[in-house]
């Protein structure tokens, strides 16, 4: 046998290659089974990154369905409430280039909002209750409704169904509790008006 | 000599302490108005306990601490409370918040303070109570309620008490002055605090060596006591809590923990004196020593100032020249915050008011690029890498920031101070920290949102499944009924009426029969849900600190309570009606076009459920609920929840209800016997017989009469259907749509009937009558509540028929009247109705009936109608 | 009235980046004086030409990048780069060498990476290495120092220098090898004999005539900067200490195989310039103190390795660039232990 192989180097090489392939295949297979990573399934991780507004602006009925869609290859830039930050985070997770937000699905709004029902206009039709994905509206038929501001995600799905248009999306105001400093201008950003800043300082001084 | 450890980093800014020490401690006049922000400490804001217009004395408590971490506020002079309103707060944000405004009367009369000679004999809790009562908070700058700090957890025995006389910030000399003038009080206060903390082994007063006079004074006062007075080299920020601990003990407070976790408590000298005065003389925290300094002032010194004094008053007393000032700072130049506005008051933590001149503190130079010189890292007392944190803060890489321990940055400003590129590093960190906090909150919220959403999805799926199941059973039942009818028809007993109608009637009768239980269950669920929510909210309320949050939560709780009450009322209403809803249900079919079907339905309904059985089951469920409610009450009492009252009243009500149900049950046999006892199938046959007779009678009627009859019946049905619709809506039942459709159909039918009638007899009085009724029905549908809750006459079928009869008669009479007379008549009848309604209302009030609101609404409505009619009459 | 609203701290130490850089330039003076004294005006001309080129390039690039020129020139970082490169280049090298070196330092090594503060490599050293690789001949011709000049010769005159620099007219007898060159070539003589044989060493004291004084000049400048707290001692001292230890170990008692005495290594070539002016460049070095110790030691070791066994006689530039590569890595492992933490955290621990 060995002699035969030695005399036919081509066949010998073939045999060697095939057996090597088999051995390594076995090792790899074993490793795959043995060291299987039981991590979060990707959908959970994606769902974790999405803002859970459940607004449906991505055209899916909620954040989790969109997470599933992303996992199946949908674009990652369809979530306006999450905005660029969310897109970046997802891009980070999936290791892809971060695109900008797809304007088709809406624009990222600067301020967070919360629904507010003008209570004396509310006729108690319960339409908004049915629309709210968060169960954040409290009320019963013929009773004035109200929004649990803490649970409202600002998805504005309740605005549309209201027959008397008594729901407003109000910007969330900063309070003493959540106020914090804004970052100062970065050196790069002061370029255009560096002289202006100087001037400003002088003016400030003059005014003061 | 005590060993002194050194801290890493630190800087040596120009001390600038001599300016304010040239003059002795001064006093200033009372301001015209004193302002007390309710939130001038760390923790929950206090609650005002005075009213606008109230007279208060100096030292009188005007706002009560709310919650564990909070502090009371006291008036610092006598006068009148002139407002409780939003004012600009001494806070870096420049936002406003609730403040109590006091206008002094100039008499400065003090409340009587409760002195205590032998305070060391009191135990810890009494002393803490005294300090808490006096509203003492940390006076070094942060303003943490002192009472809390002095009650460390039992598992952290305190072995070291450190009194902080470091005052490492440039310019500030308030503590220095205090140590020079009140050294004895400091020692007494220190002894008091040591006593309260169970006499720790080591009691140290730490003073930086740039205050020789203070060191001398305190050392002299401490002579003969076990208190060590330690001086150490001047360096900023050795006065930081963590840094001072490191200097004096060599220990580090573990990240994210309190000093108490390593057995150390640290208090500022000012706080120590305030605590001593509070315990010894009962004096609340109403004044403090503050340094007023800066080149924009003509006088620079330390003053004893009443809390609440507006800063512009203080500045005015010191010859402030706004033109010369580059900015206005509350606190020191390293950690103080710039005020946008000098119209804010001095608060408990105001240790310095700094009005630097233009040269003294030039406007910040524009930031240059970081050259990574590392000076910041060398200056950082927390051994952080500020330049890296700056880098990541710029990149908004919060994970990296976290990894670089940005949370351990004490915002001392040493890094910004040394940075040759003038980068406002600390502001970057503050912004990043704020954003990180925000993100954490948002993350938590989004997790909660996800849960809620998933819950909802589940619930909807379940409801759908239930509906489907119900639909299937209903269909089956209808089929069965149909078969039965067919069988009956086959036996030749059915009259000429349509089969389908009969089947329908039976089905709907069954359906209505099933619904009361369901509705009750739903209501009960609503009640328990609301209760749960209230509980949860209250729990949250006790946990939250943020004031605005709190207000929101309280509002929510109130709302939820109202709703709970509502749900309970409805539930209570419901049970009694449940009994006769059977009857109503059947009745609603009585007037159906085919009396036969109705009769059959009625008979069947009666057969299915004996009234006493029903009552019994009711009673059972009530008992069960009572049991549950009592359990809950006990639990609530055990943990002293605020819900106790509500629960108690609920239990009482339940008990009452059980009693009435029992009574009813006892009475039941008689009424059961009384009605013409349709007992078994025979009864049904009898009913059918009777219906047949009626049908025969109808057949002999004139077509006009028939129509008229039908029309009346239809109006009644519409009315009933409307009320049903309303109540269905109230319960958010799935039947709403169906009902609505039915109602629409009925309207259409009524219209055709009316048209027919008109053809036969254009002057038929029913036409008018029906119109009026339809209109009023429409009204009632539009107006909230009442139709669903007023015990409409519809309930008693006979009464209703009688009413209809009466109305008919009236209509006939009216037809012959002049319009004016008609109106007058109406007014009279309305007056009568109003009277009756009022009687009912007062009765309800006397009995504390749950329907009171409905009654009241009814009265209101009748009255307004009366008025309207009167106006019309006048016009005509 | 509205006052200015800014975040604390409100006090800052006087001085800014520009001041720091000016101090650095000032501190170069003793070294430059020594260079001029021993080698004539060549270095001075290099420095001036390089600074001018640096500033011009910086201004041009800033203009291209749409940045305020005046504001950024004020930080003097371009001047510093020019001065350092000028000091490092051989005196009397042709003008285009200086210009190309400086331009590549400013444009390639600095602005292509984002400008001040963003450059991972020391610009002056990048410029130097580019030149060394591109124009090895011009870069290895040093002038002979004053004491080693032949009888009757005097230092290059100003005009002679100009001629040589601008017109490329070489003037004989003025070029010579550096002590490190010579030492490298020696593999037969004992160190002591070798010192006797070479006039460069014979006329000097311990590290080659002139050179020792130049290095002492830079040492003085460096000490001044240390005293002024412009940088910390960690990187330079660690670098010098490493070199000292290594050269002592391999001194070999002065055999013909000796790698040179510690004194020779410390006071010859660009050692002091490198230690106090290059290794302390904050932008491209490690950030923490521990990191800087390692960074400095790395440079010292590399310099010695290349000098002793490498192809190049001096190696400051290569060593510094190699350690620039390693700086982020060093940073990663040398995060200081933060107050209240028992261990220092790795920078990426949390994220991955
Ligand atoms: S002090 Fe300023 S320039 Fe220096 S490393 Fe720190 S942030 Fe950068
Ligand atoms: S502000 Fe923070 S990073 Fe800067 S020196 Fe102070 S503790 Fe260190």
Q: What are the tens digits of pLDDT across the range B33-45?
A: 999 998 888 888 8
Q: Give residue B784's pLDDT band: very low, low, confident or very high (50, 70, 90).
A: very low
Torsion of CA B254, B260, B264, B266, to 10 degrees: 100
Question: Which residue puts its alpha carbon closest to atom 2 of ligand 1?
Answer: B419
Write down the domain spans for chain A.
39-108, 113-171
Most distant CA pair in chain B, distance = 124
**Between residues 55 and 114 of chain B, which touch chain A (CB distance below 8 Å)?**
89, 91-93, 95, 97
- Rounded mean pLDDT, A191-206: 42
- Nearest chain B residue (CA) to C351: B399
Phi, psi at residue B320, to the nearest 5°? -75, 130
Is the pLDDT at A200 greater than 60, yes or no? no
Percent of chain C exceeding pLDDT 90 equals: 24
Torsion of CA B550, B551, B552, B555, to 10 degrees: 120
Residue with tokens 């032949």: C150
CATH code of residue C109 = 1.10.3430
**Inside any domain, residue C180:** yes
Nearest to A208 among B322, B437, B448 (CB): B322
Q: How buried is B71 (Cβ within 10 angstroms: 0-12 exposed, 13-18 middle, 19+ buried)? A: buried
Which of the two residues, B834 and C279, has the higher pLDDT score? C279
pLDDT score, position B701: 60
Distance between CA B173 and CA B207 in Å, rounded?
Answer: 12
- Rounded mean pLDDT, B583-609: 48
Q: Give residue B497's pLDDT band: very low, low, confident or very high (50, 70, 90).
A: very low
- Rounded mean pLDDT, B14-40: 88
pLDDT score, position C60: 92
Distance between CA B126 and CA B122 in Å, rounded?
Answer: 6
pLDDT score, position C50: 93
A39-108 maps to CATH 1.10.15: yes
pLDDT score, position B550: 62
Within its chain, how far is the Cα of C157 from the centroid? 26
Task: Tell me how far CA of residue B729 lies from CA of A167, B516, B723, in angstroms.
Answer: 21, 14, 10
The rounded Å distance from CA A179 to ligand 2 centre is 21
Structure tokens at C65: 């990048």
Structure tokens at C266: 């410390």
Q: Give residue C295's pLDDT band: very low, low, confident or very high (50, 70, 90).
A: very high
Is the pLDDT at C121 greater than 80, yes or no? yes
pLDDT score, position B678: 41
User: CATH class for domain A113-171?
Assistant: alpha beta
The rounded Å distance from CA B419 to ligand 1 centre is 5
Strand ranges inside chain C, DSSP E? 142-143, 175-176
Our CA-based measurement puts residue B867 at a distance from the nearest CA of chain C, in whole angstroms, of 58
Task: Tell me how far CA of residue C249 lies from CA of A175, B178, B789, B876, C242, in angstroms.
Answer: 67, 63, 103, 126, 11
- Rounded mean pLDDT, B552-562: 68
Asked if residues B33 and B101 have their Cβ atoms less than 8 Å apart, the reply is yes
Chain C neighbours, 3+ Cβ pairs < 8 A: A, B
Q: Give residue B494's pLDDT band: very low, low, confident or very high (50, 70, 90).
A: very low
Distance between CA A136 and CA A145 in Å, rounded?
Answer: 10
Percent of chain B exceeding pLDDT 70 equals: 68
Distance between CA B137 and CA B129 in Å, rounded?
Answer: 13
Average pLDDT across chain B, whole number: 76
- Report the SS3 class of residue A116: strand
Asked if residues B356 and C4 have their Cβ atoms less than 8 Å apart, the reply is no
Is the pLDDT at B455 greater than 90, yes or no? no
pLDDT score, position C320: 92
Instruction: List the single range of B297-306, B362-371, B398-407 with lowest mean pLDDT.
Output: B362-371
Distance between CA B23 and CA B13 in Å, rounded?
Answer: 23
pLDDT score, position B572: 66
* Pocket lined around ligand 2, Cβ cut-off 6 Å: B 379-382, 384, 386, 409-415, 425-426
Identify the top-confidence range among B511-520, B583-592, B744-753. B744-753
Question: Which residue puts its alpha carbon closest to atom 7 of ligand 2?
Answer: B409
For CATH 3.40.50.11540, list the domain ranges present in chain B.
19-285
List Cβ neighbours of C26 (8 Å cut-off, separation of 6 or more): C221, C224
Distance between CA B755 and CA A94 in Å, rounded?
Answer: 71
Nearest to A197 among B366, B447, B526 (CB): B366
- Rounded mean pLDDT, C227-247: 89
Our CA-based measurement puts residue B427 at a distance from the nearest CA of chain A, in whole angstroms, of 6
- Residue C336: DSSP 8-state: P
Instruction: List the single range of A122-136, B186-200, C6-20 with lowest mean pLDDT.
Output: C6-20
Q: Where are the alpha helices (DSSP H) in B375-424?
A: 375-379, 386-395, 398-403, 414-418
Instruction: List the single range of B575-584, C169-178, C194-203 with lowest mean pLDDT.
Output: B575-584
- The count of residues in chain C is 352
Instruction: List the single range of A173-187, B379-393, B451-465 with lowest mean pLDDT.
Output: A173-187
Tally the domains of chain C: 1
Q: How buried is B620 (Cβ within 10 angstroms: 0-12 exposed, 13-18 middle, 19+ buried)? A: exposed
What domain range includes position C293? 3-334
pLDDT score, position B584: 42
pLDDT score, position C105: 92
The rounded Å distance from CA B375 to ligand 1 centre is 6
Distance between CA B334 and CA B418 in Å, rounded?
Answer: 12
**Inside any domain, residue C340:** no
Structure tokens at B771: 């119109």
- Residue A171: DSSP 8-state: E
pLDDT score, position B687: 56
Distance between CA B255 and CA B408 in Å, rounded?
Answer: 7
pLDDT score, position A6: 78
Is the pLDDT at B79 greater than 60, yes or no? yes
Q: Give residue B504's pLDDT band: very low, low, confident or very high (50, 70, 90).
A: low
Q: Give residue B781's pLDDT band: very low, low, confident or very high (50, 70, 90).
A: very low
Distance between CA C312 and CA C314 in Å, rounded?
Answer: 6
pLDDT score, position C82: 92
Indicate yes or no: CB of C338 within 8 angstroms of CB of B256.
no
Structure tokens at B744: 């629409």
Question: Which residue puts its alpha carbon closest to atom 3 of ligand 1?
Answer: B370
Distance between CA B177 and CA B181 in Å, rounded?
Answer: 6
**Between residues 504 and 533 of chain B, which touch chain A (CB distance below 8 Å)?**
526
Residues A129-161 pLDDT 10s: 888 888 888 888 777 788 888 888 888 888 888
Cα R_g (chain C), whole angstroms? 21
CA angle centred on C296, ends C290 and C299, rounded to 5°: 145
Is the pLDDT at B234 greater than 80, yes or no? yes
Which of the two residues, B824 and C87, has the higher pLDDT score? C87
Q: How buried is B840 (Cβ within 10 angstroms: 0-12 exposed, 13-18 middle, 19+ buried)? A: middle
Q: Give residue B187's pLDDT band: very low, low, confident or very high (50, 70, 90).
A: very high
Give which of C2, C9, C19 to mutate to test B binding, by max B Cβ within 10 Å.
Answer: C9
Phi, psi at residue B35, to the nearest 5°? -125, 130
Instruction: List the single range of A80-84, B301-305, B716-720, C120-124 with lowest mean pLDDT.
Output: B716-720
Is the pLDDT at B676 greater than 50, yes or no? no
Is the pLDDT at C298 greater than 90, yes or no? yes
- Rounded mean pLDDT, A126-130: 84
Buried-exposed string A16-27: b where 16+ CB fall within 10 A, e elsewhere = eeeeeeeeeeee
Indicate yes or no: CB of B435 within 8 angstroms of CB of A180.
yes
**Bridge partners, residue B169, by sequence:** none
Structure tokens at C307: 């000098």
Which of the two residues, A19 and B446, has the higher pLDDT score? A19
Which of the two residues, A52 and B629, has the higher pLDDT score? A52
- Rounded mean pLDDT, B101-110: 88
Within its chain, how far is the Cα of B784 from the centroid? 26
Instruction: List the single range of B112-126, B169-183, B415-429, B493-507 with lowest mean pLDDT.
Output: B493-507
Q: Give residue B814's pLDDT band: very low, low, confident or very high (50, 70, 90).
A: low
How many of the other CB atoms lie within 10 Å of CB of B675? 8
Instruction: List the single range of B80-84, B814-818, B823-827 with lowest mean pLDDT.
Output: B814-818
Indicate yes or no: CB of C3 within 8 angstroms of CB of A181.
no
Q: Where are the alpha helices (DSSP H) in chain C?
A: 17-27, 29-39, 42-64, 69-73, 77-88, 95-103, 123-134, 136-139, 158-162, 179-185, 191-197, 199-202, 211-227, 234-249, 262-267, 271-273, 289-309, 316-333
Nearest to A175 among B548, B563, B729 (CB): B548
End-to-end CA distance of chain C: 50
Is the pLDDT at B764 greater than 60, yes or no? no
Is the pLDDT at C40 greater than 90, yes or no? no
Structure tokens at C323: 């350690």
Which of the two residues, A37 and C18, has the higher pLDDT score? C18
pLDDT score, position B835: 80
Indicate yes or no: CB of C115 within 8 angstroms of CB of B377.
no
Q: Which ligand is nearest to the CA of C75?
A: 1
- Rounded mean pLDDT, A8-17: 88
- Rounded mean pLDDT, C284-307: 90
Indicate yes or no: CB of C349 within 8 angstroms of CB of B403.
yes
Q: Give residue B501's pLDDT band: very low, low, confident or very high (50, 70, 90).
A: low
How many of the other CB atoms lie within 10 Å of CB of B869? 20
How many of the other CB atoms lie within 10 Å of CB of B608? 12
Buried-exposed string A51-63: b where 16+ CB fall within 10 A, e elsewhere = bbbbbbbbebebb
List Cβ neighbours of B620 (8 Å cut-off, separation of 6 or more): none
Identify the top-confidence range among B123-132, B139-148, B203-212, B834-843. B203-212
pLDDT score, position B123: 84
User: CATH class for domain B19-285?
Assistant: alpha beta
Q: Give residue B788's pLDDT band: very low, low, confident or very high (50, 70, 90).
A: very low
């Amino acid at each position: 046998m060995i002699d035969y192989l030695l005399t036919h180097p081509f066949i010998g090489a073939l045999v060697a290659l095939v057996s090597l392939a088999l051995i390594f295949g076995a090792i790899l297979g074993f490793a795959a089974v043995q060291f299987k990573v039981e991590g979060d399934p990707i959908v959970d991780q994606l769902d974790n990154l999405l803002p859970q507004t459940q607004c449906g602006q991505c055209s899916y009925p909620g954040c989790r369905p969109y997470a599933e869609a992303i996992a199946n290859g949908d674009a990652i830039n369809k979530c306006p409430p999450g905005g660029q930050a969310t897109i970046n985070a997802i891009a980070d997770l999936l290791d892809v280039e971060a695109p900008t937000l797809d304007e088709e699905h809406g624009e990222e709004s600067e301020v967070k909002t919360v629904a507010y029902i003008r209570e004396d206009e509310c006729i108690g039709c319960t339409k908004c209750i049915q629309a709210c994905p968060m169960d954040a509206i409290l009320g019963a038929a013929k009773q004035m409704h109200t929004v649990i501001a803490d649970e409202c995600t600002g998805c504005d799905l309740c605005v549309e169904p209201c027959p008397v248009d008594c729901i407003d999306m109000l910007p969330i105001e900063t309070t003493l509790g959540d106020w914090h400093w804004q970052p100062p201008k970065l050196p790069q950003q002061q370029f255009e008006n560096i002289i202006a800043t100087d001037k400003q300082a002088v003016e400030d001084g003059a005014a003061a | 000599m005590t060993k002194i450890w050194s801290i890493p980093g630190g800087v040596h800014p120009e001390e600038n302490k001599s300016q304010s020490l040239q003059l002795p401690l001064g006093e200033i006049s009372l301001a015209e108005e004193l302002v007390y922000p309710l939130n001038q400490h760390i923790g929950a804001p206090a609650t005002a306990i005075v009213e606008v217009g109230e007279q208060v004395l100096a030292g009188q408590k005007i706002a009560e601490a709310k919650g564990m971490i909070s502090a009371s506020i006291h008036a610092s002079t006598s006068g009148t409370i002139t407002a409780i309103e939003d004012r600009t707060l001494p806070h870096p944000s420049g936002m406003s918040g609730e403040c109590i405004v006091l206008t002094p009367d100039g008499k400065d009369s003090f409340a009587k303070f409760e002195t205590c000679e032998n305070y060391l004999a009191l135990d810890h809790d009494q002393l803490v109570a005294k300090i808490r009562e006096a509203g003492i908070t940390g006076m070094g700058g942060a303003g943490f309620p002192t009472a809390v700090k002095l009650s460390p957890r039992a598992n952290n025995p305190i072995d070291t008490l450190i009194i902080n006389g470091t005052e490492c910030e440039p310019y500030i000399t308030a503590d220095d002055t205090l140590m020079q003038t009140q050294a004895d009080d400091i020692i007494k206060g220190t002894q008091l605090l040591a006593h309260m903390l169970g006499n720790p082994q080591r009691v140290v007063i730490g003073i930086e060596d740039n205050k020789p006079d203070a060191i001398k004074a305190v050392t002299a006062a401490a002579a003969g006591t076990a208190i060590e007075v330690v001086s150490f080299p001047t360096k900023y920020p050795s006065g930081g809590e963590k840094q001072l601990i490191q200097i004096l003990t060599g220990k580090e407070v573990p990240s994210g923990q309190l000093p108490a976790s390593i057995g150390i408590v640290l208090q500022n000298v000012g706080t120590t004196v305030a605590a001593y005065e509070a315990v010894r003389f009962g004096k609340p925290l109403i004044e403090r020593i503050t340094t007023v300094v800066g080149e924009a002032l003509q006088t620079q010194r330390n003053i004893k100032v009443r809390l609440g004094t507006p800063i512009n008053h203080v500045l005015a007393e010191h010859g402030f020249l706004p033109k010369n000032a580059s900015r206005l700072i509350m606190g020191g130049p390293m950690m103080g915050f710039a005020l946008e506005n000098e119209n804010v008051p001095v608060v408990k933590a105001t240790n310095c008011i700094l009005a630097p001149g233009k040269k003294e503190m030039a406007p910040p130079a524009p930031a240059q690029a970081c050259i990574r010189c590392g000076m910041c890292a060398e200056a950082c007392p927390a051994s952080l890498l500020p330049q890296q944190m700056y880098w990541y803060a710029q990149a908004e890489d919060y994970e990296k920031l976290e990894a670089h321990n940005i949370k351990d940055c004490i915002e001392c400003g040493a890094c910004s101070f040394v940075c040759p590129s003038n980068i406002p590093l600390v502001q970057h960190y503050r912004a990043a920290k704020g954003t990180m906090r925000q993100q954490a909150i948002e993350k938590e919220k989004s997790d909660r949102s996800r849960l809620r959403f998933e819950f909802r999805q589940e619930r909807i799926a379940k409801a759908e499944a239930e509906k489907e199941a119900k639909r299937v059973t209903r269909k089956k039942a209808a089929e069965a009924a149909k078969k039965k009818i067919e069988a009956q028809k086959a036996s030749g007993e059915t009259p000429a009426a349509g089969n389908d109608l009969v089947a329908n009637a039976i089905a709907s009768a069954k359906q209505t029969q099933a619904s009361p239980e369901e509705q009750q269950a739903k209501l009960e669920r609503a009640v328990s849900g609301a209760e749960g929510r209230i509980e949860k909210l209250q729990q949250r309320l006790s946990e939250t600190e943020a004031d605005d949050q709190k207000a929101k939560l309280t509002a929510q709780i109130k709302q939820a309570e109202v709703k709970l009450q509502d749900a309970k009322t409805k539930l209570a209403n419901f049970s009694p009606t449940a009994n006769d809803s059977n009857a109503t249900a059947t009745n609603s079919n009585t007037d159906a076009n085919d009396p036969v079907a109705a009769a059959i339905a009625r008979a069947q309904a009666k057969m299915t459920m004996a009234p006493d059985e029903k009552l019994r089951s009711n009673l059972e469920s009530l008992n069960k609920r009572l049991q549950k409610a009592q359990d809950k009450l006990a639990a609530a009492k055990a943990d002293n929840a605020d819900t106790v009252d509500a629960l108690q009243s609920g239990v009482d009500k339940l008990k009452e209800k059980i009693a009435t149900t029992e009574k009813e049950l006892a009475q039941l046999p008689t009424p059961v016997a009384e009605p013409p006892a349709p007992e078994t199938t025979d009864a049904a046959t009898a009913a059918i017989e009777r219906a047949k007779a009626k049908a025969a009678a109808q057949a002999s009627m004139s077509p006009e009469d028939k129509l008229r009859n039908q029309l009346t019946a239809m109006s009644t049905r519409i009315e009933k259907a409307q009320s049903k619709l309303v109540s269905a809506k109230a319960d958010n039942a799935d039947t709403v749509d169906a009902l609505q459709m039915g109602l629409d159909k009925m309207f259409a039918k009524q219209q055709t009937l009316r048209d027919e009638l008109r053809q036969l007899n254009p002057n038929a009085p029913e036409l008018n009558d029906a119109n009026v009724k339809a209109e009023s029905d429409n009204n009632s549908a539009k107006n909230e509540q009442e139709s669903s809750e007023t015990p409409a006459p519809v309930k008693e079928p006979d009464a209703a028929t009688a009413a209809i009869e009466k109305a008919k008669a009236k209509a006939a009479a009216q037809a012959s009247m002049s319009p004016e007379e008609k109106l007058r008549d109406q007014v009279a009848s309305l007056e009568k109705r109003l009277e009756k309604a009022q009687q009912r209302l007062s009765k309800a009030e006397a009995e504390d009936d749950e329907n009171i609101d409905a009654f009241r609404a009814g009265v209101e409505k009748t009255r307004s109608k009366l008025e309207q009619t009167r106006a019309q009459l006048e016009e005509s | 009235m509205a006052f200015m609203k800014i975040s604390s701290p409100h006090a800052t130490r006087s001085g800014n980046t520009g001041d720091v850089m000016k101090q650095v330039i000032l501190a170069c003076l003793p070294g430059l004086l020594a260079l001029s004294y021993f080698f004539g005006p060549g270095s001075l001309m290099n420095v001036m030409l390089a600074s001018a080129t640096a500033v011009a390039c910086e201004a041009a690039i800033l203009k291209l990048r749409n940045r305020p020129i005046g504001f950024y020139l004020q930080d003097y970082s371009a001047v510093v780069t020019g001065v350092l490169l000028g000091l490092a280049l051989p005196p009397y090298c042709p003008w285009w060498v200086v210009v190309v070196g400086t331009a590549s330092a400013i444009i390639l090594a600095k602005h292509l990476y984002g400008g001040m503060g963003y450059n991972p490599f020391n610009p002056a050293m990048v410029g130097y290495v580019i030149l060394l690789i591109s124009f090895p001949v011009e870069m290895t011709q040093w002038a002979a120092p004053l004491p080693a000049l032949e009888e009757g010769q005097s230092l290059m005159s100003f005009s002679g220098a100009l001629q040589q620099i601008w017109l490329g007219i070489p003037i004989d007898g003025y070029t010579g090898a550096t002590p490190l060159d010579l030492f490298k070539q020696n593999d037969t003589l004992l160190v002591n004999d070798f010192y006797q044989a070479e006039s460069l060493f014979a006329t000097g004291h311990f590290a080659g005539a002139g050179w020792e004084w130049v290095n002492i000049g830079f040492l003085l400048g460096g000490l001044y900067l240390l005293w002024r707290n412009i940088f910390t001692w960690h990187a330079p001292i660690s670098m010098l200490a490493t070199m000292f230890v290594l050269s002592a170990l391999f001194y070999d008692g002065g055999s013909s195989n000796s790698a040179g005495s510690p004194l020779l290594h410390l006071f010859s070539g660009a050692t002091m310039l490198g230690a106090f002016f290059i290794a302390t460049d904050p932008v491209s070095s490690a950030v923490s103190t521990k990191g800087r110790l390692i960074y400095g030691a790395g440079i010292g070791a590399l310099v010695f390795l290349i000098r002793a066994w490498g192809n190049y006689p001096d190696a400051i530039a290569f060593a510094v660039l190699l350690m620039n590569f390693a700086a982020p890595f060093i940073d990663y492992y040398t995060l200081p232990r933060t107050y209240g933490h028992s261990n220092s955290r790795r920078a990426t621990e949390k994220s991955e």
